[in-house]
Amino acid sequence: MKEIILVVNAGSSSLKFKIFDLNSEAIASGQVEGIDQAPSFKAKDAQGQVIAEHQWSEAEAHNHALVLGYLIDWITETFKEYTLKACGHRVVHGGTLFDSSVLIDEKVIADIESLIPLAPLHQPHNLRVIKLMREKYPTLPQVAVFDTAFHQSMQGNATMYAIPYELYTQGVRRYGMHGTSYAYIAQKLKESYPEIANKKIVIAHIGSGASLCAIENGKSVMTTMGFTALDGVSMGTRPGGIDPGILLYLMENKGYGVDEIRDFVYYKCGVGGLSELSSNFYTLECNYETHEGAKRAFDFMMFRVAEEIARLSVSLGGLDAIVFTAGVGENSSHFREGVCAQLGYLGVRLDQAKNQQRGEEKIGASDSSIGVYAIPTNEELMIMLDTVRLAK
């Protein structure tokens, strides 16, 4: 019987999934949304056609076990000619304990649990689904793939903050995120663009969550996200780099407590707060010409990404190529044009026709001193490949 791999990305109120055969072909994908309110299930085939939908009642909210059981039953019933070989999980934080993906056992679960303080809004949801899967399907191999693992190659200054060194030895350091995406792009460059793959490259993973990474010889040298997923460039609802004095000001003068500060930095800031319109970059771009807040936030985002690209070139000692990826980076020619225009002093030039052409990956002008690319990422595929490798 043929085998399939399930890839899961669990959030607080959603569960995204993708199903691959062992030829690395995606055969279905989907998500459950609104788990905290009134859960709804939708699945699509490889062509993007809806093949299944289901709605639960409000009385069945907060029941992750119910949702997960329904998903596995649906997979078993829908793909009868296949058997489920293993499940791969995206796990946000691996700390310094994990520098690669691992087959999950009780010790791994305990280690992931110990890292909850480093990602309190993400790690518990990743763990919950892992534990539920082990309870319901104890013989099914599961693999944890960590967002932070790719960045374990960073050294010295790239990992530090100017805080008491004792805290660094206790784990308060830069970890970085989006590592699975960066690993995919590094691999893609080796396969499709070997002439630059080992050179000095900045990858801009720009979506509702956003970060950038400097790589050389396919390894992470420096990244913009830090101890948590809050640092670096602005995002949909997160501020990116922020003067910590602002948080002290809010606590001392506006009565903010820990919960209010957490809500502020995770949900009230970013382009959503700056625009006073939307945290969705597509909505901002569509309203760029007509809404002052949309233009303000979109322009700020392009400026900050250009600024971080220049900063990351210092950690590389130069720059040979820029790669845009993820939802905004892959799809917004306006965004890429705005960023590159601010890097013109470095000799960055776009081929305007190629930049506008959907699916074109090599978009730098022939006279650009730095290569420019727009390459779709595929984090689920990387999780799937690691899961197949470890769940033999």
What is the spatial distance between Cα 60 and Cα 39, in angstroms, rounded to a whole number? 8
Tokens read off for 122: 């993400």
Crossing angle between the packed helical segments 179-192 and 379-390, to the nearest 10 degrees: 90
Give the list of residues 6+ apart from residue 204 with CB closer than 8 angstroms, or none: 210, 212, 305, 308, 309, 322, 323, 324, 325, 329, 339
Which string of DSSP letters, residue by residue, matches 7-62?
Answer: EEEE-SS-EEEEEEETTS-EEEEEEEE-TTSS-EEEEEETTS-EEEEEE--GGGTT
Nearest to 149 by CA among 391, 382, 388: 382
What is the spatial distance between Cα 73 and Cα 76, in angstroms, rounded to a whole number? 5
Exposed/middle/buried for 293, CB within 10 Å: 0-12, 13-18, 19+?
middle
Residue with tokens 């009642």: 57
What is the spatial distance between Cα 384 and Cα 3, in angstroms, rounded to a whole number? 12
What is the spatial distance between Cα 234 and Cα 388, in angstroms, rounded to a whole number? 35
Which residue pairs from 161-166 have beta carbons closer than 8 angstroms and sit at least 24 positions apart in sequence? 161/226, 161/227
What is the spatial distance between Cα 43 and Cα 247, in angstroms, rounded to a whole number? 41
Catalytic residues: 147
Tell me, what DSSP letter sits at residue 362? B
